[in-house]
């Protein structure tokens, strides 16, 4: 069984379409766990109406705690051997689950299977009008990667390699990785993917027809909130800088990347553009540990 976890907050207007895309899957052995993260709209009414005719869907309401916490609750409730996280405003093409489960069937050592994504305007689902990114360009951004852990370190530390709804996880591998960090409300998927490489997971890109994630481009999407996303970036960079498993070359990269972000932060605030500080205060502590980190990675013989 595949467990699809939808963590949602005030997306009653979209969630029925997300569930419908599951009902259209060629792979039928699935359950959908809706974790309502404190919605104030009529999400509960919409989902409970669907549940009357769809026993594979369940609804669970929690106090608003952020998407990471809500997804982790969903994992705890799941019964499947495989886990997929679907955002409530997104869709899956009909062969998404089947093509990824087939990859696991063909390789017993596989931990994560993932595929490509296309974006569509809020009210335009015409496949001819799909685009490759939120910037509406024609260049694929999700990299084609297959392999284990450290082979992918540089790529994953430098950029996010997929969207949240793209990977199908073997549940035991997801538990090994450690689930989402509840402290992160943005970039939580990227941070999880970074931990994948240190858990020595085996990753495979699945190139199959009708197996894209379809992401809805609308102004209330978290992906458009760039300033808020930046407020979580430096703590993630710092965490990796202090990680003993990161290679020396990547520690140097992370140091320069953090310096760049902090410089931008100072300049933006001097210009009067306020960036949410949230975790930035503790991020400034990295200056005091940079020397120790660098020296710890060099062996003096």
- Kindly report, residue by residue over 134-144, the tens digit of the pLDDT: 666 667 788 89
Does the pLDDT of residue 187 top 60, yes or no? yes
- The span from the CA of 83 to the CA of 35, in Å, is 14
Would you put residue 187 in left (φ > 0), alpha (ψ -120 to 50) or beta? left
Going from N- to C-terminal start, the domains of the chain cover: 2-224, 227-296
Residue-level pLDDT at 245: 84
pLDDT, tens digit (0-9, with 9 covering 90-100), for 50-83: 999 999 999 999 999 999 999 999 999 999 999 9
Q: Identify the residue with better confidence: 256 or 269.
A: 256
For residue 227, the model assigns a pLDDT of 63
Residues of the chain with pLDDT > 90, as a percent, come to 55
- Greatest mean pLDDT among 135-149, 179-193, 247-261 lies in 179-193
Q: Of 222, 210, 261, whose CA–CA distance to 92 is shortest?
A: 210
Alpha helix ranges (H) inside 137-204: 153-158, 171-177, 188-198
pLDDT at 198: 85
Query: Architecture of domain 2-224 in CATH?
Result: Alpha-Beta Complex (3.90)
Q: What pTM was estimated for this model as a whole?
A: 0.85
Q: How many residues does the chain have?
A: 301
> Which of residues 130 and 197 earns the better pLDDT score?
197
Q: Sign of the CA dihedral 130, 135, 137, 139?
A: negative
Over residues 235-248, mean pLDDT: 85
Average pLDDT of the chain, as a whole number? 85
């Amino acid at each position: 069984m595949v467990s699809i976890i939808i963590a949602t907050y005030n997306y009653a207007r979209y969630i029925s379409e997300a569930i419908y895309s599951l009902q259209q899957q060629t792979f039928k052995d699935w359950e959908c766990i809706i974790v309502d993260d404190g919605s104030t709209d009529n999400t509960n009414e919409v989902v409970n109406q669907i549940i009357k005719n769809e026993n594979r869907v369940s609804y669970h309401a929690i106090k608003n705690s952020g998407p990471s916490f809500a997804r982790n609750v969903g994992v705890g409730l799941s019964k499947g051997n495989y886990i997929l996280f679907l955002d409530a405003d997104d869709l899956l093409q009909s062969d998404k689950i089947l093509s990824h489960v087939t990859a696991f069937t063909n390789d017993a050592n596989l931990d994560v299977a993932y595929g490509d994504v296309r974006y569509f305007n809020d009210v335009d689902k015409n496949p001819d009008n799909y685009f490759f990114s939120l910037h509406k360009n024609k260049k694929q951004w999700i990299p084609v990667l297959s392999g284990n852990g450290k082979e992918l370190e540089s790529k994953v530390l430098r950029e996010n390699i997929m969207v949240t709804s793209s990977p199908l996880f073997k549940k035991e591998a997801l538990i090994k990785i450690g689930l989402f960090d509840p402290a992160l409300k943005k970039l939580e998927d990227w941070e999880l993917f970074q931990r994948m490489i240190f858990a020595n997971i085996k990753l495979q890109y699945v190139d199959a027809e009708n197996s894209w994630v379809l992401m809805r481009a609308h102004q209330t999407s978290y992906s458009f909130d760039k300033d808020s996303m930046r407020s979580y970036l430096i703590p993630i960079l710092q965490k990796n800088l202090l990680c003993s498993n990161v290679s020396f070359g990547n520690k140097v990269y992370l140091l320069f990347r953090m310096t760049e972000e902090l410089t931008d932060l100072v300049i933006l605030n001097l210009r009067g553009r306020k960036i949410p500080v949230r975790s930035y205060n503790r991020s400034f502590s990295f200056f005091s540990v940079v020397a120790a980190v660098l020296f710890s990675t060099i062996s003096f013989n």
